[in-house]
Amino acid sequence: MTNYIDIVDYKLHGIPCQIGITMYEPEEESTWEHSGYSAQFNWELLDRKGYKAKWLEKKVTQADNAEIYGYLLENYK
């Protein structure tokens, strides 16, 4: 089983699930010497019991990826 930094509840296409966060790098602001970057996440979709949900991953579109990223940005710090 993968070690998750955190697990958050989510709904994908109305299906209750969880997002297991495996990597998180917070946003870094730009300075004169360094260009910043937005927050980075690596995550896996899990079923409600915490198991990898490969069947649900097959339903994920690019729009879903963007929505999940936005959800994590707003709800995970």
Q: Where are the domains of the chain?
A: 6-26+38-75
The per-residue pLDDT for range 36-74, each reduced to its tens digit, is: 557 889 999 999 999 999 999 999 999 999 999 999 988
Q: Say what the pTM is.
A: 0.80
Confirm if 46 and 7 have CB atoms less than 8 A apart: yes
Query: Each residue of 32-71: b (16+ CB within 10 Å) or e?
Result: eeeeeeeeebebbbbeeeeeebeeeeeeeeeeeeeebeee
CATH architecture assignment, domain 6-26+38-75: 2-Layer Sandwich (3.30)
